[in-house]
Structure formats: structure tokens, C-alpha cells
Amino acid sequence: MAPSVLRYLPLFALILAGCSTLAPMHADRPGPETLTHFEDARLNEISGMACSLREPGVLWVHNDSGDKPRLFAVGPDGKTRGILEITNAIARDWEDMALVNIDGKPWLLIADVGDNASVRDDVVIYLLPEPDPADFADQPVMRVTAPSVMPFRYEDGPRDCEGVAIDPINGKILLISKRTEPPVLYSLPLLTQCDDDDGPYVAQRINPVGGIVAPTAAEKLIPGRLGIYRSQVTGFDISADNRSAAVLTYGNVYIYNRPVGERWTDVLTHPPVRIPIKGLPQAESLCFDENGSTLLLTTEAKQPPLIRYRLR
């Protein structure tokens, strides 16, 4: 055995020893599949993703901080179908998005909630009706105004957040903090008509999120985001059928299955199913497909892959 390999044996041993502390997972779950790659060179820092409720197979995605206030509609082939510009929005640090049916109509949520240094006095949620992706055939760039602009702050002070989802039954926006151990769940009202003069609203602290595994001593020695940052929450979604929630970290995806009648605020305290992530060095986006049976993930990179995990 080469001396360079011998040097890392203690680290490998520590990693193996730490495996027994991980949350439970299904050993028979099918492995991930690469469906396509995002071809648009402008999509080099995807930090939010949601499946269209108007046209199955189309994804809405947005970049991290530094881009314009816009969404990209991407087809199943990875090609951009069109761009949606939100004229009354500011893209300070967009970190997640979601789609939900409200009174039979699909709505898009965009979360400008990134706050790496935890210094922002208030952050913003935008809500707008989902346009029909088919309209991009005649108009490759569409411009709309979001009827709901919700500035808000957290009841216990500023914090970074990259995971936002919608609880449609209880009419709540749910947010998970990124840099706290364990992550903490917060809640806001879901408002489709709101002006920034109405705020700031206050996100109520609910409870810690259960089952997110902190990095072991050995894992903390791994370079990059899969080391000391591997348990930080970077994405969050609730399936359209309201049966499952997925919480994304740099190292794993955690699936929470909801018993009938139980509130998500309680479900997210239970032990989840853990799925280790493979091949995504900076996983910051995930969403369920339109029927909740499949989970889609991608990473921040040039021409990133679209990865599928079959759940049911």
C-alpha cells in the first residue's frame, strides 16, 4: 500500500465508525438518475427550483445572489423555454422557491431570504400567479408584477435561510434556518395580496427540525461543503399531495412522511428517512414532481445535472 494511502487510513476509520450514528434510510431505494443537464450558461448558480403546475415536465429555476429578479422556465430537455422577469422585485439573495395551488390556481413563491452574515433587518417573500409556460413560444421574455410582496423578520433576530416551503392546508409559509444546530422551523401567513408597506411581518419560531445529522468529527475534516457544513439546510419542499416533505443539506436529503391529519409543524420533529447525496458538490435546490413520487435535485455549477430520486 502506498504511503499516501496509509496517511489517510485514520480518517477513513473515523468516517466508518461514525456511520452508525446516521439517521435511518431505506437500503432498497433506487439510486439517483441523471435526467439531463441545464444547458443555459446563465444558470450557473441555481438556488431555487419548482415543478410547474401548469405544464408537467417544466421547471422554474432561479440563480443565487448576483442575478436579475427573474425566473427561467426549463423544459425536460434542459433547454430554457423562456424568462419571467418580476418587475417589482429585487434579487438581493434569492435562495428558494415553491409552487402551490390556491383556490384552484397555481402560485409561485420566491424567497429572498439569504443572509450569510445574519444582518438583514428584513427579508422578503414574493408571491405571484404562475404564468403558462406555453406562452413563451410567442414571447420568450415575459414581465409581470408580483401582487404579494411580504417583507418580514424573525421573532428572535436575523438569520440565514435557504429552505422555504408552503403548507397549503394550514395556509402557512414554512422556513428552516441554515446555520443553527439543530435547524429551526419558522412560520409566516400565506398572503396572495400584500404590499411592502403592510410589513414587516414576523416569522414565528416553531420548533427545531428533527433528525438532521450533525457532522461527525471525521466528517468535519473533509474539505469543502461536505465537511463542517454538510448538515446546513439548503432546500425544502412539500409535495403537491401534501404527503411528504424533503429537506436538503449539502450531505443528505431527509424525507418526512406525514400521517393523515398531522400538522407539518409536528411531522418535522419526527425522525426522517435519510438519503445520502451523490455527485452534487453544492446541492442547493430540490423539488418534488407534480405527483410527489419523485424528487429532483441539482447543484450550483455550470451546466449542472438534473438528478432524480424515485421515492414511491
Count of beta carbons in the 10 Å neighbourhood of residue 139: 11
Contacts of 122 (CB under 8 A, 6+ apart): 151, 152, 153, 199, 200
Side-chain half-sphere CA neighbours of 110 within 13 A: 31
- The 10s digit of each residue's pLDDT in 75-120 is 999 999 999 999 999 999 999 999 999 999 999 999 999 999 999 9
Say whether pLDDT at 6 is over 70: no
- Domain count along the chain: 1
Identify whether the C-beta of residue 47 lies closer than 8 Å to the C-beta of residue 96: yes
- pTM of model > 0.85: yes
23 has pLDDT over 70 = no
| Strand-pair category, 283-288 with 273-276 | unpaired
AA identity, residue 126: Y
- Single-letter amino acid code for the residue at 236: F
pLDDT value for 19: 38
Tell me how far apart the 2 most distant CA atoms of the chain are, in Å. Answer: 67
pLDDT at residue 29, as a whole number: 63
Q: What CATH number should be reported for the domain holding residue 21?
A: 2.120.10
pLDDT at 224: 85
As a whole-number percent, the residues of the chain with pLDDT over 70 amount to: 90
Mean pLDDT of the chain: 90
Range of the domain at 81: 3-310
Residue partners of 214: CB distance under 8 A and separation at least 6: 181, 182, 231
pLDDT for 196 beyond 80: no
